[in-house]
Amino acid sequence: MKTPLMELYEQRKDEIENCLKKLRESDKCMDWGNFASVRRRPMIATVIYYLQQYAGYADGVSIKELRAFLYCIYLVEKDKYEKMVSSMVWCPLEQTLEEITGRLVKINSDGKYEVNLEEFKQKEKNRKLTYWKVLRPICEKAERICNYMLNPLNVRPEGITVEEFFEKGFSEKDLDKLIDAYESAWEKEKTLYADGYAKLLISVAEYYEKKPNKYEDEEILEKYGKLCEKLCKVINERKHEMPILNRMIIDTFEVESYIKANYGNELNYKLVNTLERIASELGIYHEVYGALYYGMEFKFKKDRNKKNEKKERKKERKKIDLKQLVKPEGITVEEFFEKGFSEEDLDELINAYESAWEKEKTIYADGYLKLLISIAEYYEKEHEKFSSDEFLRKIYEIFENAKLPVYKKLAAKYYIRASDIATSVSLIYSPQQNYPEEAEKYLKMAVEFNEKAIKLGIVPKFHSITLNNLGTHYYEMNRSEEALPILKKALEYAKTPKEKGLIMHNLALTYADLGKKRDAVRCMIKSICIHYKTQHEFGHVTLYNEDIDRIIKMTGDVNTDIYALKVALDLVGGNLTVEEAKKFLDLIDRSEWPLTDALLSILSGEEYKVPEGLEECSTLLEDVVKVVEYVRRRNDRK
Q: What are the pLDDT digits (tens) for 77-103?
A: 765 545 677 778 878 888 888 888 888
Q: Which residues contact 97 (CB under 8 A, 6 or more apart)?
A: 44, 63, 105, 113
Please name which of 28, 97, 90, 11 lies closest in space to residue 61, comparing C-alpha atoms: 97
Q: What is the mean pLDDT of residues 57-78?
A: 88
End-to-end CA distance of the chain: 55
Position 57 in a domain: yes
The answer, yes or no, to whether residue 328 has pLDDT greater than 80, is yes
Q: Is the same domain home to 38 and 128?
A: yes
Q: Are 196 and 153 in contact (CB under 8 A)?
A: no
Rounded to an integer, what distance in angstroms lies between the CA atom of residue 614 and that of residue 545? 19
The answer, yes or no, to whether residue 427 has pLDDT greater than 90, is no
Q: How confident is the model at residue 237 (pLDDT cuts 50, 70, 90)?
A: low
The alpha carbon of residue 145 and the mean position of all alpha carbons in its chain are separated, in whole angstroms, by 23
Q: Is the same domain home to 144 and 40?
A: yes
Contacts 24+ apart (CB under 8 A), 95-101: 95/28, 95/29, 96/40, 96/41, 96/44, 97/44, 97/63, 99/41, 100/41, 100/44, 100/45
The answer, yes or no, to whether residue 127 has pLDDT greater than 50, is yes
**pLDDT attached to residue 112:** 93
Q: Work out the angle at residue 251's Cα, subtended by the Cα atoms of residues 248 and 253, and round it to the nearest 5 degrees.
A: 80
The proportion of the chain whose per-residue pLDDT surpasses 90, expressed as a percent, equals 32
Q: How confident is the model at residue 515 (pLDDT cuts 50, 70, 90)?
A: very high
Position 469 in a domain: no
The answer, yes or no, to whether residue 284 has pLDDT greater than 70, is no
Report pTM. Answer: 0.51
Position 143 in a domain: yes
In this structure, which amino acid lies at residue 198?
A: A
Q: What are φ and ψ of residue 419, in 5° steps?
A: -65, -40
Domain end (from 118, 150, 182): 150
Structural domain count, the chain: 2
In this structure, which amino acid lies at residue 290?
A: G
Q: Is the same domain home to 140 and 12?
A: yes
Position 567 in a domain: no
Q: Is the same domain home to 114 and 198?
A: no
Rounded to an integer, what distance in angstroms lies between the CA atom of residue 156 and that of residue 204? 16
Position 370 in a domain: no
Q: Which residues contact 621 (CB under 8 A, 6 or more apart)?
A: 568, 598, 599, 602, 608, 610
DSSP 286-317: HHHHHHHHHHHHHTTHHHHHHHHHHHHHHHHH
Radius of gyration of the chain (CA): 33
Position 25 in a domain: yes
Q: What are the pLDDT digits (tens) for 441-468?
A: 999 999 999 999 999 889 999 999 999 9
Q: How confident is the model at residue 232 (pLDDT cuts 50, 70, 90)?
A: low
**pLDDT attached to residue 83:** 66
**pLDDT attached to residue 316:** 55
Q: Is the same domain home to 101 and 201?
A: no
| Burial class of residue 163 (count of CB atoms within 10 Å of its CB; 0-12, 13-18, 19+) | exposed
Hey, which residues does 114 pair with through a beta bridge? 106
**pLDDT attached to residue 214:** 53
The answer, yes or no, to whether residue 267 has pLDDT greater than 90, is no
Q: What is the mean pLDDT of residues 189-215?
A: 76
The answer, yes or no, to whether residue 229 has pLDDT greater than 70, is no
Q: Is the same domain home to 167 and 193?
A: yes
Q: What are the pLDDT digits (tens) for 567-621?
A: 999 998 888 999 999 999 999 999 999 999 999 999 988 888 999 989 999 999 9
**pLDDT attached to residue 508:** 95
196 lies in which domain range? 162-294
The answer, yes or no, to whether residue 114 has pLDDT greater than 90, is yes
Q: Are 476 and 502 in contact (CB under 8 A)?
A: no
**pLDDT attached to residue 153:** 64
**pLDDT attached to residue 92:** 84
Q: Work out the angle at residue 254's Cα, subtended by the Cα atoms of residues 248 and 260, and round it to the nearest 5 degrees.
A: 145
Who has greater pLDDT, 386 or 540? Answer: 386
Distances (CA, A) of 520 to 310, 324, 482, 515, 562: 67, 54, 16, 8, 9
- Report the range of poorest mean pLDDT among 298-307, 309-318, 330-339: 298-307
Rounded to an integer, what distance in angstroms lies between the CA atom of residue 351 and that of residue 348? 5
- Report the range of poorest mean pLDDT among 36-40, 187-191, 309-313, 364-368: 309-313
Rounded to an integer, what distance in angstroms lies between the CA atom of residue 382 and that of residue 502? 39
Q: Which residues contact 351 (CB under 8 A, 6 or more apart)?
A: none
Position 99 in a domain: yes
Q: What are the pLDDT digits (tens) for 9-26?
A: 998 899 888 888 887 754
Q: Where are the alpha helices (DSSP H) in 477-617?
A: 480-493, 497-513, 517-534, 545-555, 561-572, 578-585, 594-603
Position 208 in a domain: yes
Q: What is the mean pLDDT of residues 28-45?
A: 63
Q: Which residues contact 41 (CB under 8 A, 6 or more apart)?
A: 96, 99, 100, 104
Domain end (from 259, 294, 329): 294
Q: What are the pLDDT digits (tens) for 252-261?
A: 444 444 444 4
Q: Is the same domain home to 84 and 174?
A: no
Q: Is the same domain home to 248 and 166?
A: yes
The answer, yes or no, to whether residue 365 has pLDDT greater than 60, is yes
- Report the range of poorest mean pLDDT among 197-206, 352-361, 535-544: 535-544
Domain end (from 279, 294, 309): 294
Q: How confident is the model at residue 193 (pLDDT cuts 50, 70, 90)?
A: confident
Distances (CA, A) of 97 to 45, 94, 135, 518: 9, 5, 18, 49
Q: Which residues contact 309 (CB under 8 A, 6 or more apart)?
A: none
Q: Are 594 and 616 in contact (CB under 8 A)?
A: no
Q: Is the same domain home to 119 and 207?
A: no
Q: Is the same domain home to 32 and 141?
A: yes
Q: Is the same domain home to 172 and 73?
A: no
Q: Are 533 and 513 in contact (CB under 8 A)?
A: no
Q: How many residues does the chain have?
A: 638
Q: Is the same domain home to 103 and 9?
A: yes
| Burial class of residue 98 (count of CB atoms within 10 Å of its CB; 0-12, 13-18, 19+) | exposed
3-state secondary structure of 332: coil
Helix (H), strand (E) at residue 113: strand 113-114
Q: How confident is the model at residue 247 (pLDDT cuts 50, 70, 90)?
A: very low
Q: Sign (positive/negative) of CA torsion 593, 596, 601, 602?
A: positive
**pLDDT attached to residue 300:** 41
Q: What is the mean pLDDT of residues 107-125?
A: 87
**pLDDT attached to residue 480:** 94
